[in-house]
Amino acid sequence: MFRVTVLKKKDLIKYFVILILTIITILGLTKYFNNLKKLDLQVYANDGEIQEAPPNEGLFDYDLTGCIDTTSAIVGSVNNNNAPDTRKDEKNIYEEILKSQIGAIENLAPEQKEGATEEKLAENNEPQIQEDTAPKDNSEQENKVQLAKSGLPTEVVTQNPINLSFNAEYGAVKIKNGTSFELTNEMMEPNINIENKNILLFHTHTCESYTSSEKFPYTPTGNYRTTDLNFTVARVGDELESHLKQYGYNVIHDKTYHDYPSYNGSYTNSLATVEGILKQTPADIIFDIHRDAIGSRSDYAPCVKIGDDVAAQIMFVIGTSEGGLWHPNWKQNFKFAVKVQQKAEEMYPGLFKPMTLTKYRYNQHTGKFASIIEVGATGNTLEQCNNSMKYLAKVLDEVIH
């Protein structure tokens, strides 16, 4: 006997529909996961946003291990909302996964940086320098530069002054002579001709910074020091560079770290940098821009009010050959500093403090008109120091042109 099962037409249709739906489901899932795989190869990070990469550009493999919980939560949410199974929604799911992972990475970075003091980083001999977020192209900044005006009322307004001693004068220029050289009028007379008008700016102590302010707040990574160049003397150099370029000068501004991770050897490091630059672009006018430090007087903020601007005072430091190092240019350097400060006293009296003549060379043998300029002190704000660069640039243009 054979058992015969009789299928009704209704049952045949039912089983056929189930079969078709099963095939469609399998094909749909296959396409779904294939699209995810393709999208994995097309996602990249750009300026903190997740976007589709152009063909063959910006591709990277992102490690999704550890994302299982996040993936489950997102997919579960999509299923509960009965979202349509489209390519757009697949991409949104994947973007959420990546954003959650990138957010986790970004949250860890500040904690690692906060514990990385300069001393610890120096021990590792691996400078973990914060990225310089200043604009790479200064053209936009230069276009916004407001050049200094002449004939403005000027007054020294330092709130916590110190005794500024000097022992030599040339006209209105005051000089603190820290050498055994007897300064004669012939030595100080600024009878110089400036032929090469290229200007080189650099920083032996690149990490020197100022008092944090509302306009320029920052977290120091040392005693009035930071590796963020937006808040150091390098930013002051940017300001001087922008103004000088507005006057038409060719300016080379080097912001290499010379005092980080190790402060020792800073002048040896900066000498190598300057000599390398001069081989490519000869320049007679060379400024090593620093921030002054007056012992324990962290509140010292030498200021001059010019018109409506409060600007940090500036000080020339001129080296000589008395320390025993070869320095054939020091008298030329000295005359140039006298010429600049003399013009500054005519235009903006008090912009400069008495200059210092020292027995040390400070790499000033590299140029005919080389000098250190100390811009402000630890008590000054970056805004005040930037203001002083506007007026220094105006004075330099009067002297150089």
For 368-399, give the DSSP string: TEEEEEEEEETTSBHHHHHHHHHHHHHHHHHH
- Tokens 């000033």, residue located: 364
Nearest to 353 by CA among 147, 172, 171, 152: 172
Residue found by looking up tokens 């005006």 in the block: 149
CB atoms within 10 A of CB 299: 12
Q: How many CA atoms lie within 13 A of 33 on its CB side?
A: 5
Class of residue 262 by CB neighbours under 10 A (exposed 0-12, middle 13-18, buried 19+) = middle
3-state class of 347 per DSSP? helix
Is the confidence at residue 151, as pLDDT, over 60?
A: yes
- Give me the chain's average pLDDT, please: 77
Backbone φ, ψ for residue 226 (5° rounding): -155, 150
Domain ranges of the chain: 9-114, 134-400
| Predicted confidence (pLDDT) per residue in 92-143, tens digit | 433 443 333 333 333 333 333 333 322 222 323 333 333 344 444 444 444 5
The residue ranking higher by pLDDT, 19 or 267, is 267
> Which residues, other chains included, contact 258 with Cβ-Cβ below 8 Å and sequence gap of 6+?
203, 204, 205, 206, 266, 267, 269, 270, 273
List CB contacts of 216: < 8 A, sequence separation 6 or more.
210, 230, 231, 381, 382, 383
What's the CATH number for 134-400?
3.40.630.40
* This prediction's pTM: 0.66
Residue 2 scores a pLDDT above 70: no
Give the three-class secondary structure for 87: helix
Position 34 confidence tier, pLDDT thresholds 50, 70, 90: low
Task: Extract the runs of DSSP E, i.e. beta strands, from 186-274.
Answer: 199-202, 251-253
Nearest 5°: CA angle at 244, between 346 and 187? 50
- The larger pLDDT score, comparing residue 297 to residue 301, is at 301
Dist CA 152 CA 138 (whole Å): 28
* Upper half-sphere CA count for residue 273 (Cβ side, 13 Å): 23
